[in-house]
C-alpha cells in the first residue's frame, strides 16, 4: 500500500519531472527503490496511482495553455468546415501539427501498453535508460539547428517553423517516453531542436503536445481508479494528484522562463549522473 506521505512525495516527483526533461516515470520507479520503500511498481494499484498524478499534470498543462487551446481548437474546427487550412490561419496549422505529433505515441502506446508496464518494476533497467536520456539531451544540443525567430507571436512562429514531416518526427521522438527512463518532454524538446526550433519554442511545442497525449492516456486508465485497482488507494491518489498539480504548475512556469536563454545541457548531465549513481546503488545494495 502507498502511504499518504509516499503519495505526496511521488506526486511532487511526477509534477516536477513531467515538464522537466528528466523522465517522470523513471523517477517514479527509481526513487522508491532508493528510499527502500516496499512498493510493487508493476502492480495495478501503483500504475493506477500514477495515472491519477498524470491526469492532474495534464489538467495543469491544459489550464496554463487554455487560451492557446481555445484558439487551436477553433482553428481545427474552422479548417474542417472550410475543408482546408486558409492562408495565414496559423491556429489551424498549429492544431494539425499537434494532431500529427500526437498520433505516433498514441498508436505505439496502445499497441505496447501492457509489455511496457512490466518495465515499471525493473529499476536497474530504468536507471540505464535514464543515462541514455541524458545522452539524448546532450546529442540534441550538439546537433541542434539554427532557430528561426522571424515572427513575434509564439504560436505563429511554431506554425511557420514546423512542417507536417517535422511534427511527425517530434511525435515519434515522444514515443520514446513510453519506456520508463526516457523523458517525454526531453524527447520532444530534443526533436524540436533538431528540427530547427529555439529552446523556447521547443519547450512550448513540447508542453502543448503533452496535453492531449497525457490526458488521453490518463482518461483511458482512469476507470481503473474507480474499480478494483483503485481499492484502498483512492485517498492517496487524490492527495498525490493535488501535490502533482501544484508542483507541475510551478515547474512549467519556471521552465517557460528558463528556456528563453538556457539549454538542455544541465538536464542531460543530471540524468547521466543520477542514472549512473542509481545503477551503482541498486547493484550493490
pTM of the complete model: 0.88
Residue 202 has pLDDT above 90, yes or no: yes
- 9 has pLDDT over 90: yes
For residue 99, which phi and psi values (nearest 5 degrees)?
A: -60, -50
pLDDT at site 64: 95
* pLDDT tens sequence across 147-170: 666 666 778 888 888 999 999 999
How many domains, in total, are found in the chain? Answer: 1
What is the average per-residue pLDDT within 244-251?
96
Domain that holds residue 39: 4-284
Q: CA angle, 168 as apex, 147 and 84 as ends, to 5°?
A: 95
Instruction: Give the integer Cα–Cα distance in Å for 227 and 141.
Output: 44
98 contacts 208 by C-beta, under 8 angstroms: yes
Q: Cβ(22)–Cβ(186) under 8 Å?
A: yes
Question: Does the pLDDT of residue 230 top 70, yes or no?
Answer: no
pLDDT tens column, 20-38: 999 988 898 899 888 888 8
pLDDT on residue 213: 85
Instruction: Write the CB contacts of 206 (distance below 8 Å, at least 6 apart in sequence).
Output: 184, 185, 188, 189, 192
> Average pLDDT, stretch 75-82?
95
What's the grid cell of residue 176? Answer: 520514446
pLDDT at site 117: 64
For residues 253 and 115, the model is more confident at: 253
pLDDT at 113: 66
Amino acid at each position: 500500500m502507498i502511504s499518504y506521505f509516499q503519495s505526496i512525495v511521488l506526486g511532487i516527483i511526477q509534477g516536477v519531472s513531467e515538464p522537466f526533461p528528466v523522465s517522470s516515470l523513471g523517477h517514479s520507479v527509481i526513487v522508491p527503490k532508493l528510499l527502500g520503500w516496499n512498493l510493487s511498481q508493476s502492480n495495478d494499484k501503483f500504475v493506477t496511482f500514477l495515472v491519477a498524478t498524470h491526469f492532474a499534470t495534464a489538467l495543469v498543462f491544459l489550464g496554463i495553455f487554455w487560451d492557446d487551446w481555445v484558439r487551436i481548437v477553433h482553428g481545427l474546427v474552422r479548417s474542417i468546415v472550410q475543408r482546408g487550412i486558409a492562408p495565414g490561419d496559423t491556429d489551424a496549422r498549429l492544431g494539425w501539427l499537434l494532431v500529427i505529433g500526437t498520433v505516433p505515441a498514441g498508436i505505439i502506446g496502445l499497441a505496447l501498453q501492457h509489455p511496457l508496464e512490466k518495465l515499471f518494476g525493473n529499476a536497474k533497467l530504468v536507471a540505464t535508460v535514464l543515462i541514455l536520456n541524458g545522452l539524448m539531451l546532450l546529442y540534441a544540443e550538439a546537433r541542434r539547428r539554427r532557430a528561426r525567430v522571424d515572427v513575434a507571436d509564439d504560436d505563429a512562429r511554431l506554425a511557420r517553423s514546423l512542417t507536417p514531416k517535422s511534427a511527425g518526427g517530434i511525435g515519434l521522438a515522444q514515443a520514446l517516453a513510453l519506456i520508463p527512463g526516457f523523458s517525454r518532454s526531453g524527447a520532444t524538446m530534443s526533436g524540436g531542436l533538431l528540427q530547427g526550433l529555439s529552446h523556447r519554442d521547443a519547450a512550448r511545442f513540447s508542453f502543448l503536445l503533452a496535453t492531449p497525449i497525457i490526458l488521453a492516456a490518463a482518461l483511458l486508465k482512469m476507470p481503473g481508479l474507480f474499480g478494483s485497482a483503485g481499492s484502498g488507494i483512492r485517498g492517496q491518489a487524490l492527495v498525490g494528484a493535488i501535490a502533482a498539480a501544484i508542483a507541475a504548475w510551478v515547474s512549467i512556469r519556471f521552465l517557460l522562463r528558463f528556456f528563453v536563454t538556457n539549454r538542455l545541457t544541465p538536464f542531460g548531465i543530471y540524468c547521466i549522473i543520477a542514472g549512473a549513481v542509481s545503477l551503482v546503488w541498486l547493484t550493490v545494495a
